[in-house]
Structure 1
Amino acid sequence: MSTLFTNATLADDRVCDVLVAGETIAEVAAAGTLAPADADEVVDCDGKHLLPGAVDAHVHFREPGFAHKEDWHTGSRSAAAGGVTTVVDQPNTEPPTVTGAAVDEKAELAAKSSVDFGINGGVTEDWDPDSLFDRPIFALGEVFLADSTGDMGIEADLFADAVARAAREDTVVTVHAEDAALFDPAALERAGDGTGRDGDADAWSAFRTAEAEAAAVDRALEVGADSEAAIHIAHTSTPEGIDAASDAGATCEVTPHHLFLSREDLDELGTFGRMNPPLRSEARREAVFERVADGTVDIVATDHAPHTRAEKDASVRDAPSGVPGVETMLPLLLQEVREGTLDLERVRDLVAANPATVFDIEGKGRIVEGTDADLVLVDLEASREIRGDDLHSKCEWTPFEGREAVFPEVTLVRGHVAYDARGGDETFGEAVGENVRV
């Protein structure tokens, strides 16, 4: 099967014809130079933009153990509908992905994925590094320096041992950087009973302090330097953490919720805005956005962490941390392009080219001959409001309710149509996802 995309505007404003043959991009040429007769199907993009599929380097698809929140079928469809063609799943499932057997179990579940995937191996006191590194894990991490969902926080000595082992295996270490010793328990006491959405949701931001992130980032970078390991800081929520990673030559990611939401939004979000690390001040959010725009930040990744409405509608102490985001990441960033606050090439690099480079994912992240035909067709002139009821995650809610965004018309995964919304009707293709490390 071959498909010719004609008159497609790429992120760098070149207008091109792009020929897909089977699962790869066969040719990229100036518009009007490739013959439509050579393709089984022709899609006239008519000035719309054709982008490389996004690589979301940080998702929690919840299987095994928590399939009532999300599973590989619903999570991957949500990804495809948002223009994400590769996801990397984190280890805090049940059982946690800290042994070779657990990797095998998760890989079997991921066979129903609509998009390509990687599986991270995690670290706990009873992890089995020999069997873990015997499997095709994507990276080591998310390694937790403080407890989050799944209670996988580890001590300093184990962290150092894990980083050293990853360095020997030439494997990137993705770090959840918070230092629990610098949390402020008094902040939760000031929240009163913190009941439900009417409680003081901002107490969670006051509790898990910005200083706790900065200190943990510094420690992770020091340990990484000692072992000459590649350190990647996950979901960096502070300009201090971003600058430290950049200064040390490490890489970091920022989530859409830390990019677009702040503590000022918590009056409306309540405990639906509780996550780890938490939302920061508006001043810090603006500083993070500046670093995303100017190239200091390497990657935008979602930390897609869905929970049910019933679970989130609890006290600030009891509500689980995390928000969904895999379907809205690229659409929100494209809206920023529409509004002139981000450059389209920068967005392409943040969600596609850079993740492929940082994590050495062969054939992903670029529209060039010989790479995987992971493609997203978007019309930057067509935006709509985000509505949780319209999204495809099992949790059926979003912290970005009502915000304008630009959603894909078509998403291809290795040349297969994973999602198609042309004509107003949505259709999904078959589950064709493959492990990018196999």
Structure 2
Amino acid sequence: MLTIRNATLPDGSKRDVRIETDAGRISAIGSSLTESGEVVDATGKLLLPGAIDAHVHFRQPGFSHKETWETGSKSAAAGGVTTVVDQPNTNPPTVDGPSFDEKAELAARSYVDYGINGGVTPDWNPDELLDEPILALGEVFLADSTGKMGIEADLFRSAVERATDKYLVVTVHAENADLFDSDAKSRDDADAWSAYRTAEAESDAVERACEIGTELGARLHIAHTSTPEGIDAATEAGATCEVTPHHMFLSRDDLDELGTFGRMNPPLRSEERREEVFARVADGTVDMIATDHAPHTREEKDAGIWDAPSGVPGVETMLPLLLEEARKDNLSYERVADLTARTPSKVFGLPRKGRIEEGRMADLVLVDPDATREIRAEDLHTKCDWTPFEGWTGVFPEVTMVRGNVVFEDGEFGEQIGENVRA
């Protein structure tokens, strides 16, 4: 038994939280619980539900030089993320029974809980894949990205139909390659990638995907929406959507400094669009923040704009960046909890996670809301050893708990206890 005494919850109330550590769940919440077992004094500290990052690429199998389940989940735990959802574009891609089993064996080394998404390629085996304990179908790619898994419209429709029969959410990477601007290929500056993969390519693909989703009665989730137009199209169609920290905080104005380290799919947008995306995050339009944590080595990224791979790390800095925004009153702590925990648990069907309530799993993060620190790559735990947020300010966790087990505390890690949330 563990009692966290006098913690401030996201709504500003001060409560004691009792945890049955053997069961991994919250057993009581109150203002003056009788002390039982170990007691932690959390006076002046903020207690948050552990973040659920619904979009990570931990790179195993196939690309362990970029990241591993061990290093990626350490990064997650140190950033207050207690559940991650890994996407299928690994090597082999997670598109059938054997590839799922291979990834599941590697994921058992995780420090945090996880879901494994199944992917779609022309060679996928839906009968095998959909019988595995996958969290969702997707990231289904409507344009090529890392892993070359872009598919045609007919296969997308078929995949959505099969997933809907299984009551699975379909996560969609929405870009229409027909609307990419080929004229940008004559350029070699860092902004050329943003000019090439146009904002219109995203909004058009969101609309097309949602038309199919509505027709089939599917549960569609749009990944990494980077434009206000894409967010609005998803919302109007009744789909859910996520925004990444890099699309929320960075814009094309930052590319002179970031260079090819700022190349990702979809790319950074104009400062005006970024501000509109941030506003939709703040006002409740956007459902969740997910990182699209997509690490590559420094050597890989240090190339020309047409040769560098797309993607940036972010699982460890998501919650610290959002908490800094809350500290500055640009977001409320309630909104941060909604974006990172409550809504992801609802969208992806994780009823025991995402909230600080009696009976829920004790996935918890304790922070000092006024203890800021500068983000430095050398202090982070991702294997790729760099961050697009170098020099930014964040509020980092002191303690991260998964099912009542301390997996991170004051720079030290606990045991690798991660479990598949669907198993």
TM range (shorter): over 0.9
Residue equivalent to 2:11: 12
Opposite residue 6 of structure 2, the aligned amino acid is: N
Opposite residue 154 of structure 1, the aligned amino acid is: I
Instruction: Decide which of 169, 174, 179 is 2:176's aligned counterpart.
Output: 179
Residue equivalent to 1:387: 376
After TM superposition, the score normalised by the length of structure 1 is 0.96
Instruction: Decide which of 150, 155, 158 is 2:152's aligned counterpart.
Output: 155
**Aligned-pair CA distance for 1:273:** 0.2
Deviation string, structure 1 residues 110-129 (Cα, Å, up to 9, x no partner): 00000000000000000000
Instruction: Decide which of 84, 89, 92 is 2:86's aligned counterpart.
Output: 89
Deviation string, structure 1 residues 13-44 (Cα, Å, up to 9, x no partner): 110000111211111111xx1122x12x1110
Instruction: Decide which of 217, 220, 223 is 2:209's aligned counterpart.
Output: 220
**Aligned-pair CA distance for 1:411:** 0.1
**Aligned-pair CA distance for 1:362:** 2.5
Query: What is the 5 A alignment of 1:12-411?
Result: 12-22=11-21, 23-30=24-31, 33-36=32-35, 38-39=36-37, 41-189=38-186, 191=187, 194=188, 200-411=189-400
Opposite residue 107 of structure 1, the aligned amino acid is: A
Aligned alpha-carbon RMSD (Å) = 0.5
SS in structure 2 of the partner of residue 112 of structure 1: coil
Structure 2: runs of 5 or more not aligned:
none
SS in structure 2 of the partner of residue 405 of structure 1: strand
**Aligned-pair CA distance for 1:186:** 1.1
Opposite residue 2 of structure 2, the aligned amino acid is: T
**Aligned-pair CA distance for 1:397:** 0.4
What is the percent sequence identity of the aligned residues?
A: 69
1: CA distance, partners of 2:81 / 2:58:
14
Deviation string, structure 1 residues 72-103 (Cα, Å, up to 9, x no partner): 00000000000000000000000000001111
2: CA distance, partners of 1:356 / 1:313:
37
Residue equivalent to 2:418: 433
Deviation string, structure 1 residues 170-198 (Cα, Å, up to 9, x no partner): 10000000000000121121x2xx3xxxx
**Aligned-pair CA distance for 1:231:** 0.4
**Aligned-pair CA distance for 1:219:** 0.6
1: CA distance, partners of 2:28 / 2:185:
58
1: CA distance, partners of 2:121 / 2:263:
24
SS in structure 2 of the partner of residue 85 of structure 1: strand
2: CA distance, partners of 1:309 / 1:42:
44
1: CA distance, partners of 2:102 / 2:260:
32
Residue equivalent to 1:414: 403
1: CA distance, partners of 2:387 / 2:162:
38
Deviation string, structure 1 residues 364-383 (Cα, Å, up to 9, x no partner): 00000111100000111100
Structure 1: runs of 5 or more not aligned:
195-199
Residue equivalent to 1:197: none
Deviation string, structure 1 residues 396-421 (Cα, Å, up to 9, x no partner): 10000000100000000001111001
Deviation string, structure 1 residues 117-143 (Cα, Å, up to 9, x no partner): 000000000000000011000000000
After TM superposition, the score normalised by the length of structure 2 is 0.99
Q: 4+ residue stretches of structure 1 with deviation over 6 A? A: none
Deviation string, structure 1 residues 222-245 (Cα, Å, up to 9, x no partner): 010111100000000000010011
1: CA distance, partners of 2:279 / 2:328:
15
Opposite residue 391 of structure 1, the aligned amino acid is: L
Residues matched between the structures, number = 421
Opposite residue 30 of structure 2, the aligned amino acid is: A
2: CA distance, partners of 1:228 / 1:83:
34
